Structure 1
Amino acid sequence: MAEIQLKSVSKRWGSFVGVDNFDLTIADREFLVLLGPSGCGKTTTMRMIAGLEDVTDGDILVDGRRINDLDPKDRDVAMVFQSYALYPNMNVYDNIRFPLKVRKVPEAEHDARVRRASEMVELDEFLHRKPSELSGGQRQRVALARAIVREPNVFLMDEPLSNLDAKLRVSTRAQIKNLSHELKVTTIYVTHDQIEAMTLADRVVVMSKGVVQQVGTPTEIYDNPANTFVAGFIGSPAMNLVEGTVSGGVFEAKRMRIAGVGAPDGPVVLGFRAEDAAIAEEGEITAPVYSLELLGDATMVTMRVGGALISVKADKDYRIEIGETVSARVPAGICHLFDPDGGRRL
């Protein structure tokens, strides 16, 4: 059992604020993803939970017990890092077993626990090998097994897939998803990759410049972004965002006019997803094609509208030349509206 509470947690180095007033309760057995660009404070937050970084203000509680002053070894957390941090002179078996020796677990239990952990990440046939004889994906699985063998209260994973190639990332992501289902241990996972966040998380915390921007399920964050930062960060491609003005329920920007927009008159940022719009004979946008990307299951058409590049998902067989003029339907009902000052959702 491990419910984690962060109460007004901040981290400062002099005048620089790394994490600002972070408030959150992470439920027992929840898979929580901290998501954001480099320098947003996500790894610092994780390191404070692990005890590798001191908290400047606020409290961290595990099952109601304050752990701010506990050493990392006394916090019952297991970390998986971006770098695999394996011992090169030990084989896979001994790398996985090492935490049991350090924690003075009775030796009679070692073999069964090592083999259970290695089986979960499909490493049984590699137990005799040294790390130098393994691929990147296999090394990361050794690091996962070494965390699993501890049977900790909390897993902390810091960008564990970022050193893997695209295909391995997909298969290892599936493995982590399956492991979290099997192990049912509270997991905090740090990434800058929004696809990882969307596919793995029970809930996502989107961060920017040390501040939490939005907390919600992947669906909530995708469908109802709290502000333009979240809208522009989540999704592949990210949400289209266009600056314009509303007058009498009509949104207007260069090459773009949408009637039936429910916003007061004045400047506004309008957003919509590429898959919610459609290429059409006549539409709310008419602009030259900037680029065309064949994705296999669809064709992504990008147009330049004023100062923004707008993407619209078309049928996989759709073809057009760059520079040709195209129209797209953007119904008012699919649009999101944001305040141009500060970017909050209207």
Structure 2
Amino acid sequence: MAEIQLRNLSKRWGSFVGVDNFDLTIADREFLVLLGPSGCGKTTTMRMIAGLEQATGGDILIGGKRVNDLDPKDRDVAMVFQSYALYPNLDVYENIRFPLKVRRIDPATHRDRVMRAAEMVELTDFLHRRPAELSGGQRQRVALARAIVRQPNVFLMDEPLSNLDAKLRVSTRAQIKNLSHELKVTTIYVTHDQIEAMTLADRVVVMNKGVVQQVGTPTDIYDRPANVFVAGFIGSPAMNLMEGEIRGGVFEGARVRVPGLSAPDGRAVLGFRAEDAGPGAGSEITAPIYTLELLGDSTMVTVRAGGALVSVKAPKDFRAEIGESFSAHVPASICHVFDAATGARR
């Protein structure tokens, strides 16, 4: 069993706080994604779990055993790095086999384990090649196979797709999802890409400035963001956020008027997603078109409402010119209301 418990985990460098009181239990076989912008503390958290960084506070338990004082090699975790970290002088077979040699696993089992790992990531035809002869996607698959061959209790993946082009990211992401299903090993995955988080995770931890902002399933976080930061970080495009005031259930801001809200009076931030609104009757927003983007299945219309750029999805056959007036219907039922002072969900 590889349940991981992080109890008030912290990392500080002098007065700078990298991770602040991270408290979470990661279930056995769960795929957990740490998500956030650069510098939010997600990689530092992973490195503390791996033993590559020393925690300045709190405890790390893997399978019920406190591992704070154990060396990385004794924690039974396998890491997949952003940089692949392959040995250029070894062929693919030997790169995958290397962890077995280092850990002095019975040599009689090496070939079977290497071949099984290579087959899982579709590399059996490339075992004789060296890393320089492989594409970026193939190198990343070698790194995955090298982690798989160890049969660890925990996989740690640090932005493994960030060096790949868009098409390879999609195919390799699907491969990681399938491997997770097959291997059933507890996995912690670090990324700043919210699409990776939404498609891969059982649960997502959204972090900012070393502090956990929200923990939940991808659906929970997308449908009910806990605060303005999460609302603005999750989604492509991000949730529209506009400042204004609520009086008698009516939100009013620059070029925006949305009635029918069940929220207390006062300054507030109103949020809604582009796909939940549309052109037409209601005219809760009326503003000049800032830009138009044809997405294939739809057209993204962006208007400038006061100081905010607001995006609305229109049908793919929608036609207009930049600068024309555009009216959008924003039902109160699809709106999110956040406190203007704290950013917390109301």
TM-score bracket for the superposition, by shorter chain length:
over 0.9
SS at match of 1:314: strand
Cα deviation, 1:193-220, whole Å, max 9, x if unaligned, reads: 0000000000000000000000000000
Cα deviation, 1:79-104, whole Å, max 9, x if unaligned, reads: 00000100000000000000000000
Following superposition, the deviation at residue 254 of structure 1 comes to 1.4
Cα deviation, 1:215-269, whole Å, max 9, x if unaligned, reads: 0000000000000000000000000000000111111011111111112221100
Partner residue in 2 for 1:310: 310
* Equivalence map 1:51-90=2 (5 Å): 51-90=51-90
Tell me how far apart the structure 2 counterparts of residues 259 and 92 of structure 1 sit (CA, whole Å): 62
Partner residue in 1 for 2:50: 50
Partner residue in 2 for 1:112: 112
RMSD over equivalenced CA pairs, Å:
0.6
* Equivalence map 1:165-314=2 (5 Å): 165-314=165-314
SS at match of 2:39: coil
Following superposition, the deviation at residue 281 of structure 1 comes to 4.7
Cα deviation, 1:52-101, whole Å, max 9, x if unaligned, reads: 00010000001211000000000000000000100000000000000000
Cα deviation, 1:5-32, whole Å, max 9, x if unaligned, reads: 0000000011100000000000000000
Tell me how far apart the structure 1 counterparts of residues 205 and 188 of structure 2 sit (CA, whole Å): 10
Quick check: 1:121 aligned with 2:121?
yes
Tell me how far apart the structure 1 counterparts of residues 91 and 158 of structure 2 sit (CA, whole Å): 24
- Give the TM-score normalised by structure 1: 0.99
Tell me how far apart the structure 1 counterparts of residues 293 and 26 of structure 2 sit (CA, whole Å): 40
User: Is the 2:247–2:265 Cα contact (8 Å) retained in structure 1?
Assistant: yes
Tell me how far apart the structure 2 counterparts of residues 84 and 293 of structure 1 sit (CA, whole Å): 36
Structure 1, unaligned runs of 5 or more = none
Following superposition, the deviation at residue 307 of structure 1 comes to 0.6
How many residue pairs end up in the alignment?
346
Tell me how far apart the structure 2 counterparts of residues 205 and 320 of structure 1 sit (CA, whole Å): 40
> Which residue type is aligned with residue 304 of structure 1?
R
Cα deviation, 1:145-195, whole Å, max 9, x if unaligned, reads: 000000000000000000000000000000000000000000000000000
Tell me how far apart the structure 2 counterparts of residues 254 and 135 of structure 1 sit (CA, whole Å): 50
Cα deviation, 1:28-57, whole Å, max 9, x if unaligned, reads: 000000000000000000000000000100
Partner residue in 1 for 2:136: 136
Q: What percent of counterpart residues are identical? A: 80
> Which residue type is aligned with residue 118 of structure 2?
S
Tell me how far apart the structure 1 counterparts of residues 312 and 86 of structure 2 sit (CA, whole Å): 45
User: Is the 2:282–2:330 Cα contact (8 Å) retained in structure 1?
Assistant: no
Tell me how far apart the structure 2 counterparts of residues 259 and 337 of structure 1 sit (CA, whole Å): 13
Following superposition, the deviation at residue 325 of structure 1 comes to 0.3
Partner residue in 2 for 1:344: 344
Following superposition, the deviation at residue 282 of structure 1 comes to 4.6
Q: Which moved more, 1:175-184 or 1:315-324?
A: 315-324
> Which residue type is aligned with residue 89 of structure 1?
N
- Give the TM-score normalised by structure 2: 0.99
> Which residue type is aligned with residue 158 of structure 2?
D
Tell me how far apart the structure 1 counterparts of residues 258 and 121 of structure 2 sit (CA, whole Å): 52
Which runs of at least 4 in structure 1 moved beyond 4 Å after TM superposition?
none
> Which residue type is aligned with residue 286 of structure 1?
T
> Which residue type is aligned with residue 28 of structure 1?
D
Partner residue in 2 for 1:326: 326
Cα distance change on mapping 1:282 and 1:265 into 2, 3 Å: closer
Following superposition, the deviation at residue 118 of structure 1 comes to 0.2
Tell me how far apart the structure 2 counterparts of residues 297 and 44 of structure 1 sit (CA, whole Å): 39
Following superposition, the deviation at residue 318 of structure 1 comes to 1.0
